[in-house]
Amino acid sequence: MSEACFSDALLHWFDQYGRKDLPWQQNRTAYRVWVSEIMLQQTQVSSVIPYYNRFMERFSDIELLAAASADEVLHYWAGLGYYARARNLHKAAIQVVEEWGGCFSESFEEILSLPGIGRSTAAAISSIAFKKRQPILDGNVKRVLARYHALEGWSGERRISDKLWQLSDKQTPNERVDDYTQAIMDLGATVCRRSKPLCDHCPLERCCQAKQHGLTNQLPTPRPKKKIVEREKIMLVLESSEGLFVEKRVSSGIWGGLWAFPLVDDAEVAVEWFESQGVAKTSLAWLPKRTHLFTHFKLNYQPVRGYLKNPSDCVMEAHRGVWYKTATEPAYGFPAPVKRLIKEYEDNNEQNG
Ligand code: SF4
C-alpha cells in the first residue's frame, strides 16, 4: 500500500468510525487541544473525559489557568497521576500569557519550547489545532506503525525510535492532517489495540505485515523486563480536634508539590516523630500495609494513626504543615492514597457521630 493509500484508507475509516464527539473536538482551540493532549499522555480517553470537563469548567481559558495557584491546578488534576504534567501545564500557561500575550503560537518550534511539551505532543497540537503537517508518534501510533511495517525492536532504543519517526513522516499526508492525526491515534486506541487487535475491522489489514506474518501478538516489541524496585515507607497520620496534619511535599520526588501525610523510612523514626508531638507510642494504631504503583517503582506504605490531644503551634513551625479540616477547607491537591485515607477518616468520623 502506498503512502497515499495508507492515509486515504485511514481517513475513509475515520469518516465512518472515528470519534468526533470528544469534548476537546468541540469548540476546537489550541488551548483546549493542548490541555487534552497533556491529559491524554499515558491516560485513556475514558478516564480523561470527566477530568477534562471539570478542568475546563474552572479554567475555560489560558488566562484563568495562568492566574490560578499551582495548588488549585494540582487539585483539579488530583487522581489523574503523573503530576509533573499539571505543574508543567501551569508553568507553560504563565509563559504563554506573560511572553506571548495569552496567544498560543502557531510555530511548531515555539510550541515545542513550552514546558512539558515533547515532539509528538507539539506535533499533535500543531496538526489538530492549526492543521499543519507534522508527524506524530505517541504510544498508539508507534503500535500501528510497528505492526503495519513489522518493525522489530523496542521503541525506547534510539535506532527504532528514529525509524518510527521516519515511517510516521512518510505516512503523514499533506491534506486533512488534523483528521489524519486523530484517525491514526483513534485506530491505535480502538482497533489496533495492545492486546487482541481487531484486524478484521482494520482499514490497513490488507497490507499489514504483522497481520500477514502472524506477528500481531509479538509486535510492538516490549520493553526489556526490569525488576521493579520497591520502596518501604511509613505514612504518619496525625489527627487532632483541628483536623488531619498534612504537609506540602517539595516539588521534586514522590508526589512533588502535592499535599500529603509525612512519610518516614521506618517504624522507629515514626514512633519518635509521634512522641515528639506528644503522642504516646502505646496509643498509635498501625494499619495494614498498602501498595501504590508508580511507573518506575512500587511504594509499600503502612499508615500509622495517632491522636494529638493538644495541637501545638510548634508542630506547624517545624514542618510547615497545616491542619486539614476536610470538608471545610479550600482545594488542596492530594495524591490518590492520601485521598483514600482522608475519606476513611471522614467515614469513620461520620459513623462515630
Ligand atoms: S491489521 Fe491488525 S495489526 Fe495490522 S494495523 Fe490493523 S489492527 Fe493493527
Say how many Å lie between the CA of residue 223 and the centre of ligand 1: 20
3-state secondary structure labels for all residues of the chain? CCHHHHHHHHHHHHHHHCCCCCHHHCCCCHHHHHHHHHHHCCCCHHHHHHHHHHHHHHCCCHHHHHHCCHHHHHHHHCCCCCCHHHHHHHHHHHHHHHHHCCCCCCCHHHHHCCCCCCHHHHHHHHHHHHCCCCCCCCHHHHHHHHHHCCCCCCCCCHHHHHHHHHHHHHHCCCCCHHHHHHHHHHHHHHCCCCCCCCHHHCCCHHHCHHHHCCCCCCCCCCCCCCCCEEEEEEEEEEEECCEEEEEECCCCCCCCCCEECCEECCHHHHHHHHHHCCCCHHHCEECCCEEEECCCEEEEEEEEEEEECCCCHHHHHHHCEEEECHHHCCCCCCCHHHHHHHHHHHHHHHHCC
How do residues 160-186 score in pLDDT, each as one tens digit?
A: 999 999 999 999 999 999 999 999 999
* CB of residue 148 inside a 6 A radius of ligand 1: yes
Residue 37 among the catalytic residues: yes
Cell of 83: 503530576
Looking from the CA of residue 199, the nearest atom of ligand 1 is 2
Q: Pick the atom of ligand 1 nearest to 191's CA.
A: 7
The pLDDT assigned to 276 comes to 86
218, part of any domain: no
Does one domain contain both 199 and 311? Answer: no
Say if 217 falls within a structural domain: no
- pLDDT value of residue 319: 59
Res. 295: pLDDT tops 90: no
Residues 195 and 253 in one domain: no
Cα–ligand 1 centroid distance for 142 (angstroms): 12
Question: Where does a domain end: 212, 242, 277?
Answer: 212
Please work out whether the CB of residue 75 comes within 6 Å of at least one atom of ligand 1.
no
Task: CATH number of the domain at 322, please.
Answer: 3.90.79.10
Domain assignment present for 270: yes
Distance CA 64, CA 69 (A): 10
Q: Does residue 331 have a pLDDT over 70?
A: no
How is residue 222 written as a grid cell? 516490549
Supply the mean pLDDT for the chain.
Answer: 91
Establish if 47 belongs to a structural domain: yes
Tell me, yes or no, whether 41 lies in a domain: yes
Most confident of 141-155, 222-236, 256-270, 324-338: 141-155
Interstrand relation of 285-286 and 297-308 (parallel, antiparallel or unpaired): antiparallel
In a domain, 280, yes or no: yes
Domain that holds residue 207: 3-212
Q: What is the CATH number for 180? A: 1.10.340.30
Whether the CB of 149 sits within 6 Å of ligand 1:
no
Residue 244, in any domain of the structure: yes
Residue tagged active-site, from 3, 37, 232, 344? 37
229-240 and 297-308 as β-strands: parallel, antiparallel, unpaired? Answer: parallel
Compute CA 330 distance to the chain's CA centroid, rounded to the nearest angstrom: 23
Query: Residue written as cell 491537591?
Result: 333
CB 141 less than 6 A from any atom of ligand 1: no
Atom of ligand 1 nearest to the CA of 216: 3
Structurally, how many domains does the chain consist of?
A: 2
Contact 18, 190 (CB under 8 A): no
Nearest CA residue ID for atom 1, ligand 1: 205
User: Which pLDDT does position 252 carry in this prediction?
Assistant: 79
pTM above 0.75, yes or no: no
Residue 2: is its pLDDT beyond 90?
Answer: no
Q: Is the pLDDT of residue 76 over 80?
A: yes
